[in-house]
Amino acid sequence: MHSIFKAPLAALAVASLGASAAFAGSHSSLSGELRIISDMSNPAPRAVMEGLAAEFDEMHPNLTVELEIVDREAWKTQIRNALSANPPDVVNWYAANRMLPYVNAGLFMDVSELWNESEFEALASTKGAMTIDGKQWGVPYTYYQWGVYYRKDIFEELGLTEPSTWDEEVANCQAILDSGRKCYTIGTKFLWTAGGWFDYVNSRTNGYDFHIALARGEIEWTDPRVRQTFDNWRQLIDMGAFIDDHQTFSWQEALPFIVEGEATAYLMGNFAVAAMRDGGLDDTKLDFYQFPVINPDVDFAEDAPTDTFHIASGATNVEAAKEFLRFVTSPDVQTRINGGDALGQLPVNAGASVSDDKFIQQGFDMLSNNAGGGIMQFFDRDFPAEMASVGMEGLQEFMVFPDNLDDILARLEDARQRIYQ
């Protein structure tokens, strides 16, 4: 394990360690039963969650932790039922717009007072994503970065460097196209990958606040600023920057193009790294850069889907639930659960340390220090489900038939007026 503490953060971490030691003394008074329902059902996350529950149980002798793990997909349809009938104390869910229905229905408990504690300053990067109506409704335990994963060896061969502006990005792409390759691989068969491109082009063109306002339905899709986003995106499409027939591939089926060197970059989440490594791209061939600046007047906003813990409003053991939330957000726990042998993602707590992995480190640094605009949760989490599904269809269509833009925007605007009412 390699620590990349920044000095002030280290001080903070030490302080919070002291604080949590103090808690341990005072909170052995916790008693009764703490019921947790978790959706961490895949093997590695499951082990993490079971470990957390066991450890918390051991820390508090008078408290019994009862953990129920539900299939991750099934949980998406069960959560409402679980929260309203016989609610548990703590549940897993997702940040931002995904929690809106449960906040509006009064099923999540307001945990703003936790966020006022000094330890929670280390979680600032996701505070916006956890906030609705000026209050916080849960705590994050993990996220992962998005960005451009590219073939370092091909960049070197062509004498290219990581672009930091849109003009450089376009110039690089032209050089790559001239060498007979495609710039970007993408598989839009299941639509969501196109959402990643829209998130980035739109937030770099118009900024985080505009992007989120669009997601909330406050801005018309036919707005000239939205058109500007599509114009920028279209620059790449008209160049032929994306692989052909991408609408027939899943994200995994689009991997061979970058692995075989037919395309040089992939705008993706960090989970793609493991797959590309399996395909033989080691750290000398694969590298990462932050999506470049398009409009210098707006700050970087990054896609980093965040997974969270919440307290049910019907919780019976609120004290224990709050203590559990403090426990899972502590730098020490976040370091351990996000390690390479556990979740293999990024801790949200800026005081945590990350594993000795090039991409994890770059991502942690990027999200902790260079995402001043805000953290987006990804298209299908920021937009309401119905809008997201209509929207992503439109984005895919745009990537294949960019001339249909007027039609597409009119259709999305119709959908917006119907969905948000």
Partner 1 sequence: MFPTPIEKQSRAWQISYQSMLPFALIIWLLPLIAVATFSIRPEADFVEGNYWGVPGSFEFFTNYGRVFFESDMPRYLLNSVLITVPTVVGAVALSSMTGFALGVYKFKGNLLIFFMFIAGNFVPFQILMVPVRDLTVNLNLYDTKTGLILFHIAFQTGFCTLFMRNFIRALPFPLIEAARVEGVAEWRIFWFVVLPLMKPALAALAVLIFTFIWNDYFWAVVLTQGPDAQPVTAGITSFNSQFRAAYHLMSAGSIVAAIPPVLMFFAMQKHFIAGLTLGAVK
How far is Cα 37 from Cα 387, in angstroms, rounded to an integer? 29
* Residue partners of 191: CB distance under 8 A and separation at least 6: 389, 392, 393, 395, 396
Q: Which is nearer to partner 1, 147 or 331 (CB)?
A: 147
Q: Are 173 and 241 in contact (CB under 8 A)?
A: yes
Residue 12 vs residues 25, 154, 299: alpha-carbon distances, Å: 20, 42, 26
Q: How far is the CB of 255 from partner 1 (least distance, A)?
A: 5
Element (H, E) at 63: strand 63-69
Q: How far is the CB of 223 from partner 1 (least distance, A)?
A: 33
Q: Which is nearer to partner 1, 208 or 257 (CB)?
A: 257
How far is Cα 102 from Cα 157, in angstroms, rounded to an integer? 52
For strands 301-303 and 263-269, give the pairing.
Answer: unpaired
Q: How far is the CB of 69 from partner 1 (least distance, A)?
A: 8
How far is Cα 57 from Cα 375, in angstroms, rounded to an integer? 33
How many other C-beta atoms are found inside a 10 Å radius of the C-beta of residue 330?
22
Element (H, E) at 312: none
Q: Which is nearer to partner 1, 292 or 339 (CB)?
A: 339
Q: Are 119 and 325 in contact (CB under 8 A)?
A: no
Q: Which is nearer to partner 1, 245 or 260 (CB)?
A: 260
Q: Which is nearer to partner 1, 43 or 296 (CB)?
A: 43
How far is Cα 336 from Cα 331, in angstroms, rounded to an integer? 9
How far is Cα 69 from Cα 329, in angstroms, rounded to an integer? 20
Q: Which is nearer to partner 1, 71 or 283 (CB)?
A: 71
Q: How far is the CB of 335 from partner 1 (least distance, A)?
A: 21
Site residues for partner 1 per CB under 8 A: 41-43, 45, 70-72, 74, 250, 252-253, 255-257, 259-260, 269, 271-272, 274-276, 278-280
How far is Cα 220 from Cα 215, in angstroms, rounded to an integer? 10
Q: How far is the CB of 253 from partner 1 (least distance, A)?
A: 8
Distance of CA 375 to the CA centre of its chain: 8
Q: Which is nearer to partner 1, 276 or 333 (CB)?
A: 276
Q: Which is nearer to partner 1, 78 or 228 (CB)?
A: 78
Q: Where are the beta strands (DSSP E) in 72-172?
A: 90-94, 131-132, 135-136, 139-143, 146-151
Q: Which is nearer to partner 1, 75 or 233 (CB)?
A: 75
Residue linked to tokens 């279209």: 234
Q: How far is the CB of 275 from partner 1 (least distance, A)?
A: 5
Q: How far is the CB of 268 from partner 1 (least distance, A)?
A: 10
Residue linked to tokens 């075989």: 260
Closest CA to 182 of 115, 101, 109, 249: 249
Q: How far is the CB of 279 from partner 1 (least distance, A)?
A: 3
Q: How far is the CB of 260 from partner 1 (least distance, A)?
A: 6
Q: Are 148 and 164 in contact (CB under 8 A)?
A: no
